[in-house]
Amino acid sequence: NREFRYESNKRLNIAMKEAGKLITETDYSQHFRILESDGSYLFNIQLIDPDLHIRLEPFCLMLAKKRGLAVLPYQAGFVRFSLGGYLDGSPEGYDLFRQEIAKAIQMFLDKWTDFLQDKIPENNIHDIIEDFGSLLDKEKTSLNSLLIRDIKSIYLPAPACSGVNINTISTSKNAVIEFFDNVGSCPNLE
């Protein structure tokens, strides 16, 4: 819908602007470029040197384990940042989002450089707090109209048996129907 697309594009533009500043204003432009997004609430950075693509997955696993920053690596040499999460829609909320995505991108770029020099960060809570800095103290508020609540689920007889799960939100005309591998194999489902 229109609101979804507007919100997704707004966040993408913020991420592209922040990443553009970080990449072009430093020597990271020799190693990374922004890759056009092919989905909503997604932002991609591509590694330019194809010889380093093989190191991307181990790096991303290390970054998630040691720093709590999870980005999704792809064999084609790019990483995907999620831009999802609820914001309150205020200028302050978007400014906090801008700070968070800038910090995440900066941390990714800095830790990648360290990783290539075989500098593996310690799994130390003080270093993690230092990495995220003052962002840890920021309080977020959510835009209630976007929160998914009052979810109704119907399990007939149960997803594990029937292979079907149906979820809906009471104020929505839409539903999510999940089909599992065993769909249609329930012996007593008519």
pLDDT of residue 68: 82
- The mean predicted confidence, pLDDT, of the chain is 80
Q: Give the single-character DSSP code of 145.
A: G
Q: How far, in Å, CA of 61 to CA of 28, rounded?
A: 21
112 or 153, higher pLDDT: 112
pLDDT of residue 88: 81
On whether the CB atoms of residues 81 and 104 are closer than 8 A, the answer is: yes
Mind listing the pLDDT tens digit for each residue in 165-176?
666 655 666 666
* Mean pLDDT, residues 18-25 taken together: 94
On whether the CB atoms of residues 72 and 104 are closer than 8 A, the answer is: no
pLDDT of residue 76: 92
Mind listing the pLDDT tens digit for each residue in 29-76?
999 999 988 778 899 999 999 999 999 999 999 998 888 888 999 999
Mind listing the pLDDT tens digit for each residue in 95-113?
999 999 999 999 999 999 9
125 or 29, higher pLDDT: 29
135 or 33, higher pLDDT: 33
On whether the CB atoms of residues 163 and 180 are closer than 8 A, the answer is: yes
50 or 155, higher pLDDT: 50
7 or 85, higher pLDDT: 7
User: For the chain, what's the residue count?
Assistant: 190
pLDDT of residue 162: 60
